[in-house]
Structure 1
Amino acid sequence: MPRKGMRSICFNSKTSSFSMSGYSSPARNSISTGTPRRNFSESLIEQSIEAATVLINKWNPETSTYAKVTSLFHESKSEAMQFIRCVNDLQKSMHALVTENSTSEKLVHAQNLMQIAMKRLQKEFYQILSMNRAHLDPESVSARSSRASARSSISDFDDDGSVSHDDEVRNVGDSIDEVEEVSSIAMTDLRSIAECMISSGYAKECISIYKIIRKSIIDEGIYRLGVEKISSSQINKMDWEVLDRRIKDWLEAVKVSMTTLFNGERILCDHVFASSDSIRESCFTEISKEGATLLFGFPELVAKSKKSHPEKIFRVLDMYTAISTNWIEIDSIFSFESTVTVRAQALNSLNKLSDTVRSMLSEFESTMQKDSSKSKIHGGGGVHTLTLTTMKYLSLLADYSNILADIFADWPPPPRSSLPESYFESPSTDDSPAPAISMRMAWLILVLLCKLDGKVEHHKDVCLSNIFLANNLNHVVSKVQTSNLKYLLGEDWIAKHEEKVKLFAANYERLAWGSVIATLPENPTATITPAQAKEIFRKFNSSFDETCRKQSSFVVSDPKLRDEMKVSLARKIVPSYREFYDAHRSNVVGERNVGLIVRFAAEDVGNYLSDLFFGNNNNSGSTSTSVSSANSSSHERHSWSRGKGLFGSKG
């Protein structure tokens, strides 16, 4: 260590590369007028220098093998605190001497002692940081309740300005476990050494050691969390599965870094250098800025990447959520002016992620709009792939409703003139998300329904068209009811669209089964001739058989809707037919080929109706008595994550 000028040591807390702002020791203030302390007698100065000579030389690694291989703070805590007090007293003596005679031999001797002491403390500072890496890891440090408590929990000083170490250790040991106790002791020792070296004008040497060791810990922590420097071109070349794993690693990294890594480092830095705001800021910034900027820069690269995949929007929303929910901690941990670039990077990533979400939803809408309205209605009128993929997509998006409300808060909504007034009548509550995202979801569903209407507009089979619309709208309503879309669209929206489902089902019933119902007389038990009874049986047989054969391929995917439709049909057909059958079957018993005249018993009609809407494709025969219901959900087996057609192929 180079020999320093005497006046520099005594009066200046600066070094060649660092200036301490806002710090001054009581001793320095007491002589700022140039007048020595009158109660600091010459004998006390001599005693102070003599005591310092004995203790400092004892721990001089240049003259003592014992001192060279032994740690003062580890060997004897009480002697370590005595060493700190001796250095502080020596500093006071030097202040007093320099005002009397700046060239005195005592002052030269004191200066030599101070340099030896600083070498010792520099060595101790390094050893404590190095040997306690495990106990000074951010997780252990961040276990302390807060930075504020960390800075104030050990704020009781002795009259000479040193920390009352024994009292602190006793208090700490009563409240925290053994690991945290070791961490707290190491932090206290570091603070004692740092304050002593800083007040003696050796700040540069102290903080240099601190920055080197602690930055390596932060850099290693960031690397272990899976955050590495990466370029946009590298991301664009990655398979989606690889990028997805990196995003998941990043999400975990943000959680850990905010609760332990950077939080713990800020706590430690604030505590060790509590005596100087400028040193705290300088140390923490140099230690954490690079790693934090790397951490919060990754989402921007993902947002700007050209990678296309159905799940990308959800990963983007996850990253947005991670930053926004941790913003208070980000703003608090990186509150220094010199860490403004970290906060700016986090905000920039939020903005880029927002732009990406809005762009992807616009692209999603555009893709739906471009879907060909002439594409074939799926066999049996079941739920269309467009409906399945769209509602799966929107119901998952609804889980991010609060985040989406933020993203779309200042984004212009779809033209109000394009939406039915019913979309604006849903009740809102104080805790519901902002109307902007509710409007956006309602609009996207409306686009879907319009595309479904377009698919049946020119379809020849109106019965199939109504089954198709009932199935698809029912699926839409079901997904709304069983997801957070329910809170975005409201109960009125659900009720109105449930009525539309019933209307489509009623239309189907009237169009498909109206002819069957019409064959039965209004008064089934009225007296008629055998010939009239025979003709009614004949018409019913023909109409019922033909209708069942046509409807046997139709499917109603939802079990509840399927049962409701079958029950409705059965109520309109079975009771009337049973009454007619019971009243008039005897009139045709004597006829030849009576089995052809009365083909269906009342129970048979009910059984045939109960087998409808499972999607039986065997049209060669008449009615079917047993059909598997497996086909009803065949289209739902399409994996949404494939995203083919509507969302594009995997990246």
Structure 2
Amino acid sequence: MPRKGMRSLCFSPRTPSFSVSRHFMSPSRTSLSSTPRRRFTESMIEQTIDAAATIIMKWDAETSAYARVTSLFYESKREAMQFIRSVNELQKTMHLLVSEQDSRSEKLIQAQNLMQIAMKRLQKEFYQILSMNRAHLDPESVSAQSSRTSTRSSTSDFEDDGSRDDEIRTAGNSISEVEEVSSMAMSDLKLIADCMIASGYAKECMHIYKIIRKSIIDEGIYKLGIEKISSSQVNKMEWDVLDLKIKNWLEAVKISTRTLFTGERILCDQVFASSDSIKESCFTEISKEGATLLFGFPELVAKTKKSPPEKMFRVLDMYTAISGDWQEIQTIFSFESTSAVRLQALNSLVRLSESVLSLLMDFESTIQKDSSKALIPGGGLHPLTIYSVNYLTLLADYSNILTDIISDWPPPAKSSLPASFFYSPDSEESPAPAISVRIAWLILVLLCKLDGKAKRYKDVSLSYLFLANNLQHVISRVRTSNLQYLLGEEWITKHEAKVRQFAANYERLAWGHVFASLPENPTVSMTPGEAKECFRKFNSSFEDAYRKQSSCIVPDSKLRDDIKVSIGRKLVTVYREFYNTHKSTVGDERSARLFVRFSPENVGNYLSELFFATVSSGSSSMSSSTSSHHRRHKRSPLRM
């Protein structure tokens, strides 16, 4: 508001605040203590009124051009203290005159006129200090030096200008210039507020304070990007736009809670320390609208019908932001008149928690309803596995928040999960955290879905490799994320055993006929014809197995090495003994070249090339180029 408009609003001589009956005739509005009245002599009353008149009239903007363009508190702190002291003495004198003399007495009328002039001056000073120190009274500066301000703002003894200057110089050694100016402005505002409240002009003081400070809070909220928005507007937004607004809100709520509203609450408490009701009224009117707007946004997001995967984590971020600052919110908005702010923040938490539960059910439903029928080449990782485990890994990072949210949510049927998921290993009486049970259940739902997809492979060995690969991926992500703390080592150990079982089944079905082509005792005596037939069977079965399995993939390096080592131990070792024993049995060198197509080293080298392929977009495919090792053996007897 322009200064001229503010002055006309606050300083009109026709305002009903300037009446004796309003401020001095009602005993309930007096600030006199209950100590026995002291009867002033006529000369003492006159002396008090004359002393007050001297300094009050000097600063009467209606009669003095100097007073119109000069600030009392900026011009001379000593004189400002004298002005405040004179007004307080005048106030006491007026109460005595009202209680002991006719209300129409000449001295009382003179004192009343002086008080009206003094209050106009203090209103002007109050307005000027608030207006000219907007930068120094910003919430960040106030909250940064509130503890210092509280110790420096006690000026009820009205120390002289010299002692205040000494205090400023001493404090200046430890605080910044901005904090120093802020602290001094708060001190001056408190002096004026105390004086006006004691003189019965609290309403005028509050009016100026609310107008200026509310504009600062509203401007701060606006600059933080918080705007009034309806539920229908949120529903119409594209997710990218809404996501940007959520990110902005997360930053805004942090600044608002820890700086904007904290600083304003501190300033209100400091300036109006003499009246609990006034500080509550001012802070409520200044902050309630902006704070309700701020804490109402998460509720709108929680209610929106859009449910992309990212929504879960944005909702959890907002829940974390409010719950993490809940103690501060309760402290800042502790007044009864600001209960609506606390209620709005609480409502947002409830709506956000409901949204989390709904999104978890949607996630489970997404797994169960996945209808993709395409077989993953080479038995690699299914996109559903990658998506689901990524989702669960991120969820695990919010385990503390999720524990609070789903603590009362009914767990899955116990028949669906082993007892170990419902009770901790240490005690059968101690239930496992609800989040652990829920995560275990979701992984079980995923594994059941993958089991159904594995059955679509015509090659049964490939179905087992598919299960081994996907379960191994789940375990690997569990081990390298917070999921390991939720599921525990027992869960990991049990599922690692399942991976080994799947791998063994793959090995038996894919390579069993190669193992069977060699004699149980590789060193048993054979005729040349038997040896040739045995080599022929091995050549054929190995070439066939290699051709089929060369398109397989095992993305996990450890699982890949484990499978190859297991196959190599059973195949290469036996074949080497057979090769060394019977190579010469088949006949001369020409016959050996004809029937003995693989050396043990060849077999080992070909096995080492298995299970490599590129992984793209969650599926597996063979690389268009062979490995460098294969290029080194491009003259292999396997014509592939």
Check whether TM > 0.5.
Answer: yes
Matched with 1:106 is: 107
Deviation at 1:458, TM superposition (A): 5.5
1:625–1:500: structure 2 CA closer, same or farther, 3 Å change rule? same
Q: 1:577-596 to 2 correspondence within 5 Å?
A: 577-590=575-588, 593-596=591-594
Q: Is the CA contact 2:584–2:592 (under 8 Å) kept in the aligned structure 1?
A: no
Q: 1:336-485 to 2 correspondence within 5 Å?
A: 336-372=335-371, 375-424=373-422, 426-427=424-425, 435-457=433-455, 459-485=457-483
Long gaps (5+) in structure 1:
15-19, 629-651
Deviation at 1:398, TM superposition (A): 0.8
1:6–1:581: structure 2 CA closer, same or farther, 3 Å change rule? same
Deviation at 1:425, TM superposition (A): 5.1
Matched with 1:210 is: 209
Helix, strand or coil: the match of 1:386?
helix
Q: 1:229-244 to 2 correspondence within 5 Å?
A: 229-244=228-243
Matched with 2:79 is: 79
Deviation at 1:250, TM superposition (A): 0.3
Deviation at 1:44, TM superposition (A): 2.4
Long gaps (5+) in structure 2:
1-12, 615-620, 633-640
Deviation readout 1:532-586 (Å, 9 max, x if unpaired): 2212111111111111111111111111211111111111111221222122212
Q: Which letter maps to 2:24?
A: C
Q: Which letter maps to 1:10?
A: F
Q: Is the CA contact 1:72–1:79 (under 8 Å) kept in the aligned structure 2?
A: yes
Match of 2:558 among 560, 579, 598: 560
Distance in 2 (CA, whole Å) between partners of 1:477 and 1:377 is: 22
Helix, strand or coil: the match of 1:29?
coil
Deviation at 1:167, TM superposition (A): 6.8
Q: 1:317-332 to 2 correspondence within 5 Å?
A: 317-332=316-331
Q: Which letter maps to 2:91?
A: Q
Distance in 1 (CA, whole Å) between partners of 2:41 and 2:414 is: 88
Q: Is the CA contact 1:30–1:37 (under 8 Å) kept in the aligned structure 2?
A: no
1:85–1:103: structure 2 CA closer, same or farther, 3 Å change rule? same
Q: Is the CA contact 1:13–1:200 (under 8 Å) kept in the aligned structure 2?
A: no
Match of 1:546 among 544, 547, 550: 544
Indicate whether 1:125 and 2:139 are aligned: no
Matched with 2:56 is: 56
Deviation at 1:351, TM superposition (A): 0.4
Q: Is the CA contact 1:13–1:198 (under 8 Å) kept in the aligned structure 2?
A: no
Deviation at 1:320, TM superposition (A): 0.5
Deviation at 1:420, TM superposition (A): 2.4
CA RMSD of aligned residues (A): 2.7
Q: TM-score, normalised by structure 1?
A: 0.88
Deviation readout 1:255-305 (Å, 9 max, x if unpaired): 000111000000000100000000000000000000000000000011101
Distance in 2 (CA, whole Å) between partners of 1:213 and 1:627 is: 80
Distance in 2 (CA, whole Å) between partners of 1:55 and 1:578 is: 115
Helix, strand or coil: the match of 2:24?
helix
Deviation at 1:170, TM superposition (A): 5.3
Matched-pair identity in %: 67
Q: Is the CA contact 1:426–1:491 (under 8 Å) kept in the aligned structure 2?
A: no
Q: Which letter maps to 1:347?
A: L
Q: Is the CA contact 2:368–2:445 (under 8 Å) kept in the aligned structure 1?
A: yes
Q: Which letter maps to 1:182?
A: V
Deviation at 1:156, TM superposition (A): 5.7
1:161–1:486: structure 2 CA closer, same or farther, 3 Å change rule? farther
Helix, strand or coil: the match of 1:555?
coil
Deviation at 1:179, TM superposition (A): 0.9
Distance in 1 (CA, whole Å) between partners of 2:34 and 2:631 is: 100
Q: Which letter maps to 1:626?
A: H
Matched with 2:200 is: 201
Distance in 2 (CA, whole Å) between partners of 1:612 and 1:624 is: 13
Match of 2:630 among 606, 626, 636: 626
Q: Is the CA contact 1:187–1:272 (under 8 Å) kept in the aligned structure 2?
A: yes
Deviation at 1:426, TM superposition (A): 4.9
Matched with 2:67 is: 67
Deviation readout 1:134-189 (Å, 9 max, x if unpaired): 0000010010356xx75455336328999x85576456434422111100000000
Query: Which structure has the higher relative contact order (CA within 8 Å, separation 6+)?
Result: 1
Distance in 2 (CA, whole Å) between partners of 1:57 and 1:627 is: 104
Distance in 2 (CA, whole Å) between partners of 1:451 and 1:138 is: 55
Indicate whether 1:298 and 2:312 are aligned: no
Helix, strand or coil: the match of 2:583?
helix
Deviation readout 1:479-535 (Å, 9 max, x if unpaired): 111111111101110111111111111111112112212222333233322222212
Q: Is the CA contact 2:155–2:191 (under 8 Å) kept in the aligned structure 1?
A: no
Deviation at 1:363, TM superposition (A): 1.3
Indicate whether 1:606 and 2:584 are aligned: no
1:145–1:81: structure 2 CA closer, same or farther, 3 Å change rule? closer
Distance in 2 (CA, whole Å) between partners of 1:203 and 1:364 is: 58
Indicate whether 1:500 and 2:493 are aligned: no
Distance in 1 (CA, whole Å) between partners of 2:207 and 2:456 is: 79
Moved more, 4-13 or 264-273: 4-13
Matched with 2:46 is: 46
Q: TM-score, normalised by structure 2?
A: 0.90
Matched with 1:307 is: 306
1:512–1:70: structure 2 CA closer, same or farther, 3 Å change rule? same
